[in-house]
Structures are given as structure tokens and as C-alpha cells.
Amino acid sequence: MVVRKDFETGIDRLQWYPQITKYLNAKEVFLLVGARRTGKSTMAYQIIKKLLNNGTAPENVVFINLDEPLFQTRSKDPAYLTGIIEYYQVQHKLSGTLYLFIDEVQNYEYWVQAIKTLYDTRKNIKIILTGSTSTLLQKEISIRLSGRYFHTIVYPLSFMECQSFTRSKKLTSIEKFHYFNNYLEYGSFPRVVLEEDNDLKQEILKNYFQTIYLKDIIFPNNLRNNRDVFDLLYFIISNVGKTFSYSNISKALSISVDTVKEYIVCSENSYLIYTLTKYDPSIKKQIANPKKLYCLDTGMVNSISFRFSDNKGRLLENLVFMTLRRKDLETYYFKGTYECDFIIKKELKIIDAIQVTLSLEDEDTRKREIRD
């Protein structure tokens, strides 16, 4: 679409992503990536609104949604996307920069080639893309668009963002505690946060899981054994924060080790699952050691997984991990004579250690969690 009329931009999130302004002013292609329903398309609309408010002419902004059925029927036509843009530029004698937004770009098979052609041959064009699989940042893009792009990962809402979505007044300590428990229980997908009905929140989360499972794991990777993939995801999400080995999961689910590895990589590429490595100075040992797995959103953990007695502690650990991930910190877990949930490494030094616990009231817990 050409942006000529009012459109819904939702609640402003650009303030939480200051790097977007920097990337928008650069010539390079800009990618907004992340799991489905985290708000990438809405943020693209917010960028458009900002451009228009700053004086950009509507005809200089074009938004193409490649999730639309019309475009999906031409997803294997190598000349289709560039043809649309060339036709538009011929029909409109533009002055200044053309801002080209392409939503869910991974749905077009030849997107890397098309974007490279536009970037290399068209002057005064700024390309902004959104996508839902991390393969966008791998394989062809790292080769064909090397040096030509920046990217930002969009996650579900942080706790601070979540409060800005639903509260206009400053919270008391008791209100904040209640609100945090709600945040832990239902997670922080924008649509879920804005929904008031708790049962409906659960249904939305289940629908999100099904969409990611089918559209970003099963279909793009041509995985045929849907049942095994679902069983693996159910197993992982029910055991967030626990150490695992590929062979242990293989035995538990009666799936080959190579298949387990393949399914986990596909799930990571959808931004649904994240792997945490045990810290060791030896890279070889890091690879060989057991790992931990976490899920994108605690609400999704609650809606999909088998509930267990220590669920809240695991949810809190998952939340802390995703907070560290959102900050793009190099994170590991540690297990030796003592254990530590997360250690943060910067360059060659360990700069921080974080231990997660619900309460220190119990004497045994306090002794276990706090040591000199």
C-alpha cells in the first residue's frame, strides 16, 4: 500500500528502541526481526507515522505486506518484487528518499536477491524489512547483503514497557507486586497484555504457539513428523531452565539425536526457543557440555507446558534470561563445585553473576543461594 490515510499505530514502542532512529538515518537496509506477534509490523507503522510527522510526503512511503495471499501466489517469481517497485517509481516522479517497507519478507523466496538489486541500483531508497525467522540473518544474507544491513530484534514487552501499556499512574509497591505476578503468569505479548479476560489471554497464547509452530518451524523447514516436533517443544517448554543433553532428550522422546538437534535449531530460528551454554574457558567443552533451554515468553510457558510444583521459580529464571537476552549480553550458566544461574561475559572477562530465587526466607535456601 501507499501510505495516504490514517492507520493504527498502537502504543508507542520506539522510545524503547533508540537504535532505530540511528539505523533509519543510515543508507543500509534495516531489518526488524523477531517472533510473530511481538509487534514488528506495528513498530513499522510507528516508524512510518514518525516519517510523515517529520514532513515525508505520503507518496514517498510504500508498505508491502508479503503475508497477503496475493503476494504469496507470486512468492516464487524472481522478478515480481523488483517489478512492483520499478513500476511504482516510474509512475511517481519522486523527490527525496523513497522509504520502502516490506513486511514478513521471508515469505518471498527471492527476497535477498531483490533487496540487493534495489540497494545496489536505486539511489535515494531506504529499505526497512520485517521478518519472523532468524534465518534472515544467516546463509545468503550474511554473504549477499554483507555490509549492507543493520538489524534489531523485537521481543515481547519488557516489564517497564508493559507498565506503560496499561498504567498511566505510578504504582504502589503492592500494586507493582501484583502486576509483576500477572506479567509472570500471562507473559508480555502486546495483544495479551492489553486483553482483560484471563481465559482469552490463554487462548491467544495457544494460538500464537500454533502459528509459530506451523508457519515458522514446520512449513519453512519442510518437517514432516509434526507429532515429534510438537512433543519436543512440549518437553522443552515444560522443562525451561533445566540442563539437558541431546541424547537425554532423544531417549525420552524416542527421536534420533540428529533429529533432536535439527528440531531445536529450527525452533531457535523461529525465536521461540533459546539455548544457554555452560561456561568453560574451552570452546570445545562448552559445545560438549549439557545446555539449558528457555522460552520466548513466560505466558506461553504457562499456556502450553505441563504445570509443575516449582513452576514459578522456573518462570522467574526464564524471565531473567529473556531480560539478559533483550540486552544482548553474552550469557552462560555455570556449574562446578557451586552453581550459578547466569554469568555475564564481556570480551575476555566475567563481569557479573546472577542467581535467581523466589525467596530467601528459608534457611536452607539462603545457605544454598548466598556464599562468599
Confidence at residue 338, expressed as pLDDT on a 0 to 100 scale: 86
Predicted local distance difference test score (pLDDT) of residue 222: 92
pLDDT of residue 333: 97
Angstrom distance (rounded) from CA 228 to CA 231? 5
How many Å apart are CA 187 and CA 301, to the nearest integer?
Answer: 9
Q: Which pLDDT score, from 0 to 100, does residue 166 have?
A: 72
Q: Residue 25, Cβ neighbours under 10 Å: how many?
A: 9
Q: What is the pLDDT of residue 175?
A: 84
How far is the C-alpha of 319 from the C-alpha of 236, rounded, in Å? 16
d(CA 102, CA 125): 13
Q: Report how far residue 187's alpha carbon sits from residue 184's, in angstroms, rounded to the nearest whole number.
A: 6
Buried b (16+ CB within 10 A) or exposed e, 164-177: bbeeeeeeeeeeee
* pLDDT score, position 307: 65
Q: Alpha-carbon distance 201 to 371, whole Å?
A: 40
DSSP letters of 140-182?
A: HHHHHTTTSEEEEE--SPPHHHHHHHH-SSPPPHHHHHHHHHH
pLDDT, mean of each 10-residue run, the chain (372 residues):
64 92 94 95 95 94 91 91 92 91 92 93 93 75 85 94 77 86 95 95 97 94 93 95 95 96 96 96 90 97 76 93 96 92 95 87 58 58
Strand 291-295 and strand 273-277: pairing? antiparallel
Cβ atoms < 10 Å from Cβ of 89: 16
Q: Which residues partner with 343 through β-bridges? A: 332, 353
Calculate helix-pair angle for 246-253, 226-237, nearest 10 degrees. Answer: 120
Q: What is the pLDDT of residue 370?
A: 63
pLDDT at residue 94 in the model: 87
pTM: 0.90
